[in-house]
């Protein structure tokens, strides 16, 4: 009876798998703070994409981890057509075609030696407008490589508009934008920074949002829609369900939530200690995010959860 009258259902197609691919390794490298998640080789990434299709997951969001020696101040590996993210996009596209929505993280932080999401000015501060020029180049190379959707995650002002223009001017009118609309400066990104081998010293407080602010997210939302966002995202998910609910109420485009690395790590760590029922906790977090208004959820549990949901 509970199943019959449930108001909220999570479906495998609601789920998007974030995945990491690392250059120059010949076997997957486990990420310590995210048990069960790895940095993929090009080959194992292909397999992971096929697994995701088979499980009924609808999308994959790719993050590239370059060799350390290829990081520089401008993050040039992020715009090299032969950079790790671009080759991985081509691999996955040739492997699964249109069976999975292939999404690409559009940000410089994995490719810069200082670890920031943009390029720096002479005083060492992130230069918003110079960064936008780099994002325009990234948009083109990622779309050329076969991404269906770009996810600008750097939180620069004007990034959605610049990416939309770059796509339209290079014949990629059909490539969509999933805007990281409300991205908070969060302590829960910790494990992700290990996952991408981040070089960041300091924090991203000058461009990511203050957890105390909700109205600011609605303002970011209006700007992103105006600039051409096709879908919008709230990130992190669990601690920001109120933001998610407000965003979902306010728009008529699909809304995503990103259940981030720290949210994943907390459940896995508590489960490892025997303090929590892992499988129930996972589905409960996803149900809560869906109930708050998400149409789609980026989650590192995507494949496992999709399989579990298919059996219910």
* Sites of contact with ligand PBG (CB under 6 A): 105, 107, 109, 117, 153, 189, 192-193, 204, 260-261
Q: Cβ of residue 107: shortest distance to ligand PBG, in angstroms?
A: 4
Helix (H) or strand (E) holding 160: helix 159-169
Rounded Cα distance between 106 and 83, Å, is: 13
Residue found by looking up tokens 């892992």 in the block: 278
Q: Cβ of residue 261: shortest distance to ligand PBG, in angstroms?
A: 3
Q: How far is CA 31 from CA 24, 46, 261, 270, in A?
A: 16, 19, 11, 17
**Listed residue (128, 155, 154, 150) closest to 139, CA to CA:** 150
Q: Cβ of residue 3: shortest distance to ligand PBG, in angstroms?
A: 31
Question: CA triplet 211, 61, 168: central angle to 5 degrees?
Answer: 95
Residue of this chain nearest to ligand PBG (CB atom):
192
Q: Cβ of residue 18: shortest distance to ligand PBG, in angstroms?
A: 6
Rounded Cα distance between 192 and 195, Å, is: 5
Nearer to ligand PBG, 114 or 204 (CB): 204
Q: Cβ of residue 129: shortest distance to ligand PBG, in angstroms?
A: 19
Pair 65, 84: CB distance under 8 Å:
yes
Nearer to ligand PBG, 250 or 266 (CB): 266
Q: Which two tokens stand for residue 111?
A: 């490719």
Q: Cβ of residue 4: shortest distance to ligand PBG, in angstroms?
A: 35
**Listed residue (67, 106, 76) closest to 89, CA to CA:** 106
Active site residue 183: yes
Phi-psi category of 40—alpha, beta or left, where left has phi over 0 and alpha has psi -120 to 50?
A: beta
CB atoms within 10 A of CB 7: 6
Nearer to ligand PBG, 153 or 181 (CB): 153
Q: Is the dihedral of CA 293, 176, 194, 39 positive or negative?
A: positive
Nearer to ligand PBG, 189 or 301 (CB): 189
264: Cβ contacts below 8 Å, ≥ 6 apart: 34, 37, 191, 299, 300, 301
Which position among 235, 273, 280, 290 bears the catalytic label?
Answer: 235
Nearer to ligand PBG, 187 or 222 (CB): 187
Q: Which two tokens stand for residue 251?
A: 């728009």
Nearer to ligand PBG, 238 or 288 (CB): 238
Q: Cβ of residue 264: shortest distance to ligand PBG, in angstroms?
A: 7
Rounded Cα distance between 160 and 171, Å, is: 17
Nearer to ligand PBG, 17 or 221 (CB): 17
Active site residue 47: no
Residue 238, helix vs strand vs coil: helix
Which position among 183, 273, 280, 290 bears the catalytic label?
Answer: 183
Tell me which residues are annotated as active site: 183, 235
């Amino acid at each position: 009876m509970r199943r019959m009258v449930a108001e909220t259902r999570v479906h495998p197609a609601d789920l998007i798998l974030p995945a990491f691919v690392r250059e120059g390794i010949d076997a997957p490298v486990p990420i310590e703070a995210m048990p069960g998640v790895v940095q993929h080789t090009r080959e194992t990434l292909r397999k992971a994409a096929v697994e995701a299709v088979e499980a009924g997951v609808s999308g994959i969001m790719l993050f590239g981890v370059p060799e350390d020696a290829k990081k520089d101040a401008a993050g040039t590996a992020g715009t090299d057509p032969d950079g790790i993210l671009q080759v991985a996009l081509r691999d996955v596209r040739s492997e699964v075609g249109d069976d999975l929505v292939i999404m690409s993280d559009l940000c410089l932080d994995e490719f810069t030696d200082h670890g920031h999401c943009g390029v720096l000015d002479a005083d060492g501060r992130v230069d918003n407008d110079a960064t936008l020029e780099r994002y325009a180049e990234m948009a083109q190379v990622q779309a050329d490589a076969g991404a269906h959707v770009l996810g600008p995650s750097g939180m620069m002002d004007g990034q959605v508009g610049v990416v939309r223009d770059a796509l339209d001017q290079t014949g990629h009118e059909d490539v969509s934008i999933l805007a990281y609309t409300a991205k908070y400066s969060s302590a829960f990104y910790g494990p992700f920074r290990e996952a991408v081998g981040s070089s960041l010293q300091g924090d991203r407080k000058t461009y990511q949002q203050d957890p105390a602010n909700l109205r600011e997210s609605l303002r970011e939302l209006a700007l992103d829609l105006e600039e051409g966002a096709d879908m919008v995202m709230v990130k992190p998910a669990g601690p920001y369900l109120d933001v998610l609910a407000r965003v979902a109420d306010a728009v008529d485009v699909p809304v995503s939530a990103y259940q981030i690395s720290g949210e994943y790590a907390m459940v896995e760590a508590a489960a490892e200690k025997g303090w929590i029922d892992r499988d129930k906790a996972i589905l409960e977090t996803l149900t809560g995010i869906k109930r708050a208004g998400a149409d789609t959820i980026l989650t590192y549990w995507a494949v496992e959860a999709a399989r579990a949901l298919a059996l219910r």
